[in-house]
Amino acid sequence: MKVAVYPGSFDPITYGHLDIIERAALIFDKVIVAVCINPGKQPLFSLEERVEMISRECAPFSNVEVGSFRGLLSDFVRQRNARAIVRGLRAISDFENEFQMALMNRKLNPAAETIFLVSQPKYSYLSSSIVKEVASLGGDVAGFVSKRVATRLREKFFQTGGEDENGGERSGRFSGVG
């Protein structure tokens, strides 16, 4: 069975991620979406929230599992008997960092190949960070994340999942900003 790991922060999962997952699931027998627990980063969503959101979004894909790891990705890949690490490439600017990670991961686990899937142009400018910024300012993120994730973002930033004309009530954490 050909198993691939798709690692990331997924804070939160976007349509760009889902596109890579869907395409990887057509190539591999099993894809494990692996949320990295990085003690040096302060994510917006907890590990549990991220795993739950990914699990819901990936429910239609029968060969996709969701997991998490702490420490080295190369160790997690070995533990799960995976042969490939999948990463999405959006633009040339991604390349340098991805190239370095791929080479380091190959050094740490020569049995695993890093496979890059090129993002669809319509998602090439998407990142979790820019989606969070837009959502935090009350912008519409409907084209970038699922309805469920958009609701979770509104809950985080405005303490409500409900909509008003600005896509969220201005009564929460960011009320009064600007």
Give the catalytic positions in this structure.
Answer: 17, 41, 90, 128
Examine residue 131 and tell whether it contacts ligand PNS (CB under 6 A): no
Burial 79-98 (b: 16+ CB within 10 A, else e): ebebbbbbbbbbeeebeeeb
User: Shortest Cβ distance from residue 97 to ligand PNS (Å)?
Assistant: 8
By CB under 6 A, the residues from 5 to 34 that bind ligand PNS are 7-9
Mark the segment that binds ligand PNS (CB under 6 A) among 45-53, 66-74, 143-151, 158-166. 66-74
User: Shortest Cβ distance from residue 122 to ligand PNS (Å)?
Assistant: 19
Examine residue 72 and tell whether it contacts ligand PNS (CB under 6 A): yes
By CB under 6 A, the residues from 74 to 93 that bind ligand PNS are 74
Mark the segment that binds ligand PNS (CB under 6 A) among 3-11, 25-33, 49-57, 146-154. 3-11
- DSSP state, 119? P
Instruction: Calculate Rg over the CA atoms of the chain.
Output: 17
Q: How far apart are CA 8 and CA 4, in angstroms?
A: 13
Nearer to ligand PNS, 7 or 168 (CB): 7
Mark the segment that binds ligand PNS (CB under 6 A) among 45-53, 99-107, 111-119, 159-167. 99-107
Q: How far apart are CA 13 and CA 8, in angstroms?
A: 9
- DSSP state, 137? T
Per-residue CA distances from 22 to 19, 33, 143, 158 (Å) = 5, 11, 17, 31
92 within 8 A of 105, measured Cβ to Cβ = no
Nearer to ligand PNS, 73 or 153 (CB): 73
Examine residue 51 and tell whether it contacts ligand PNS (CB under 6 A): no
Q: Which helix (H) or strand (E) holds 108?
A: helix 92-108
- Positions in the binding site for ligand PNS (CB under 6 A): 7-9, 36, 72-74, 101, 104-105
